A and B are shown apart, each in its own frame.
Chain A
């Protein structure tokens, strides 16, 4: 994974996330939209096989980088919860 920031302001960010696809970005978008300080969270892939996805976040003033980090932490927590529940079910 490699990040390239295309545009950054106080309340918005446009960042290219190299090597990632719908798999991570759709989950990330979902957790970002759960954040009440996030107005817009979306991503675009211009071409399905040759382009790298560009992620866009706009907030109501919250640091957009922090918003993405919060979403990533939420996703990590969701994974931890899954592993915990799955192992408990198997036991």
Chain B
């Protein structure tokens, strides 16, 4: 197995995963999308809501706010030994905003105050509702640790996908330049003896095969490498991209060892 990181920022990553099977790559992708638990608001006790939005609507909007999560400090609610929610699987946040008389005020995700300073809205500038002068929104929100397969608000990875690394072979080229013109992503260029793949452009190939169609003498072939994948992922902010990858792999490992343990007890 080999990993080559192309880009890594706080919220997104792009890397080449090679010498693995599609089953593992797909498992990793599915895990990041649906099986890495995160915190999201699940219950809201509204004390005062004189805004224009219904209570339900406010609750839904709050639920979709990504919360910074520490993976090891919380247990997913459905696996917790409690039934009604306890400090191990839930955390309480409060929000209290009132617009001054005669002024408008927008309630932002950053107005949520949690009991644990490490848990807060991943982005503080998500608008929740706009209040007119004198309107008030006071509530307590209970965030629970849950899984993306139950609701999108618990999804940690939001744009995770991969494609196979392209393989372009050129043999017996007659320098007609048709493939260079046909390529929509400017991957090919004319070399001295044959058309060539431009340095560093190979990964941009979308395997559209327009170059193959354009070539009159079948000198070019485009295929995919079955064991190398270009992974692209984005985190919703609950974890950094790096943590998301690590947490996803840890989740798979836990599942596999749980299965092994259960079978061992049979």
CB atoms of A83 and B23 under 8 A apart? no
Give Cα A30 to B27, complex, Å: 11
Chain A residues positioned under 8 Å from B263 (CB to CB) = 3, 65, 68-69, 72
CB atoms of A75 and B252 under 8 A apart? yes
**What residue in chain B is nearest A88 (Cβ atoms)?**
B3
Give the size of the chain B interface in residues (CB under 8 angstroms): 35
Give Cα A82 to B248, complex, Å: 11
CB-CB contacts below 8 Å: A39-72 with B: 65, 68-69, 72
With beta carbons under 8 angstroms apart, the residue of A24, A79, A90 that contacts B259 is: A24
Q: Is B115 an interface residue (CB 8 A)?
A: no
**What residue in chain B is nearest A89 (Cβ atoms)?**
B3
Q: Is B208 an interface residue (CB 8 A)?
A: no
Chain B residues positioned under 8 Å from A69 (CB to CB) = 260, 263-264
What bracket does the count of chain A residues touching chain B fall in? 20 to 34
**What residue in chain B is nearest A29 (Cβ atoms)?**
B23
CB atoms of B266 and A83 under 8 A apart? no
A interface, by DSSP: helix, strand, loop or mixed? helix
CB-CB contacts below 8 Å: B9-36 with A: 20-21, 23-24, 26-28, 30-31, 34-35
CB atoms of A90 and B242 under 8 A apart? yes
CB atoms of A76 and B256 under 8 A apart? yes
B interface, by DSSP: helix, strand, loop or mixed? helix
CB atoms of B257 and A72 under 8 A apart? yes
CB atoms of A73 and B260 under 8 A apart? yes
CB atoms of B249 and A79 under 8 A apart? yes
Chain A residues positioned under 8 Å from B259 (CB to CB) = 1, 3, 17, 24, 28, 68, 72
Q: Is B4 an interface residue (CB 8 A)?
A: yes
With beta carbons under 8 angstroms apart, the residue of A17, A65, A78 that contacts B24 is: A78
Chain B residues positioned under 8 Å from A76 (CB to CB) = 253, 256-257, 260
Chain A residues positioned under 8 Å from B101 (CB to CB) = none
Give Cα A30 to B18, complex, Å: 17
Q: Is B2 an interface residue (CB 8 A)?
A: yes
Most buried by A among B20, B252, B255, B266: B255
With beta carbons under 8 angstroms apart, the residue of B21, B253, B266 that contacts A30 is: B21
Give Cα A20 to B5, complex, Å: 30
CB atoms of A75 and B256 under 8 A apart? yes
CB atoms of A22 and B30 under 8 A apart? yes
CB atoms of B252 and A79 under 8 A apart? yes
Give Cα A65 to B263, complex, Å: 7
3 nearest interchain CB pairs? A30-B23, A79-B253, A72-B260
Interface of B toward A, CB cutoff 8 Å: 1-5, 8, 20-21, 23-24, 26-28, 30-31, 34-35, 149, 242, 245-246, 249-250, 252-253, 255-260, 262-264, 266
Interface of A toward B, CB cutoff 8 Å: 1-3, 5, 17, 20-24, 26-31, 65, 68-69, 72-73, 75-76, 78-83, 85-86, 89-90
